[in-house]
Chains A and B, each alone.
Chain A
Amino acid sequence: MKIKSDYLLRSVAGYYMVVPVGENSLDFNGVINLNESGAFLWRAMEKETTAPEMVAALLSEYDVDEKTAEADVEAFIKRMREAKLIDE
């Protein structure tokens, strides 16, 4: 699975925002805000990856236990799926 290429991660005042690219209209009601670890997972999904690979990446980058990392990845994927941002 992979994040769709028509969205861009932008850093805005200490947090991150996912905005659609190539559209003539930017709807701030539809943008998704991410914190630092969310942005990290977004970047991991910019290329083809799997949930276990994302958990491994999170564990190597952050001081978290495996259970927390798995829960975070699962929540992130669920949210991205709901927002229809993933190419399965």
Chain B
Amino acid sequence: MSSRNNVKLDEVFPLMEEKLNSGGKVTFKPHGISMLPLIRQGRDSVVIEKIDRNAKIGDVIFFRRPNGQFVLHRVIGKDKNGYILCGDNQWQKERGVREEWIIGIMIGILRDGIQADLDCERYRKYIKHLKYRRPLLFIKYKGKRLKEEIVKRIK
């Protein structure tokens, strides 16, 4: 009778948009590892609400790229081309994210069904630590590439 347990965002997007436009909230489990260690695939759900103000640095926004891909990443800046975003587990920045691509803002995380507090000192410290984490992720990435290159040359 039932065929699936997981929803595909592009399929349920009209329902999602309808709920958000009527002032409601939507909850779903995001896929991917780009927001680790904050959001773990399969375990955590995020609560999204339509944004009624400009996104600010530190906000996690849910948006849709022109190619149809849904993304949940953190705002780390803004310039004349739009928002600058980056996943918490990434070092590469995405520039030029436009206001009209934004679907909503993350207002909560459900971990094993329990709402995590995003209005606390621990979360604020976590956001602050990301600016040190990103260069380390970059060094780790470069180190891995270098190791691969060396192994390739030795062979």
Q: Cβ of B27 and Cβ of A28 under 8 Å apart?
A: yes
Chain A residue numbers with a CB within 8 Å of B8 are: 13
Chain B residue numbers with a CB within 8 Å of A19 are: 15
Task: Give 8 nearest A-B pairs by CB, closest first.
Answer: A38-B1, A13-B11, A28-B28, A27-B27, A26-B19, A25-B25, A33-B4, A24-B24
Q: Which residues of B contact A (CB under 8 A)?
A: 1-5, 7-8, 10-12, 14-16, 19, 23-29, 45, 47
23 contacts between A and B (CB under 8 A): A10-B15, A12-B11, A13-B10, A15-B3, A19-B15, A23-B24, A24-B23, A24-B25, A25-B47, A26-B15, A26-B25, A26-B27, A27-B26, A27-B27, A28-B16, A28-B28, A28-B29, A31-B12, A33-B3, A34-B1, A35-B3, A37-B1, A79-B1
Chain A residue with Cβ nearest B4:
A33
User: Is chain B's interface secondary structure helix, strand, loop, or mixed overall?
Assistant: mixed
Contact count band on A: 20 to 34
Q: Is A69 an interface residue (CB 8 A)?
A: no
Q: Is A7 an interface residue (CB 8 A)?
A: no
Chain B residue numbers with a CB within 8 Å of A24 are: 23-25
Q: Is A3 an interface residue (CB 8 A)?
A: no
Q: Cβ of B2 and Cβ of A26 under 8 Å apart?
A: no
Question: In the complex, A24 Cα to B20 Cα: how many Å?
Answer: 9
Q: Given A15-B3, A75-B1, A79-B1, A26–B11 Cβ distance below 8 Å?
A: no
Question: In the complex, A9 Cα to B24 Cα: how many Å?
Answer: 19
Q: Is A1 an interface residue (CB 8 A)?
A: no
Chain B residue with Cβ nearest A35:
B3
Question: In the complex, A19 Cα to B27 Cα: how many Å?
Answer: 12
Q: Is A55 an interface residue (CB 8 A)?
A: no
B111 CB to nearest chain A CB (Å): 13
Chain B residue with Cβ nearest A38:
B1
Question: In the complex, A27 Cα to B26 Cα: how many Å?
Answer: 6
Q: Is A17 an interface residue (CB 8 A)?
A: yes
A27-B28, A28-B16, A29-B45 known, 6 other contacts, Cβ within 8 Å: A12-B14, A25-B26, A27-B26, A35-B2, A38-B2, A72-B1
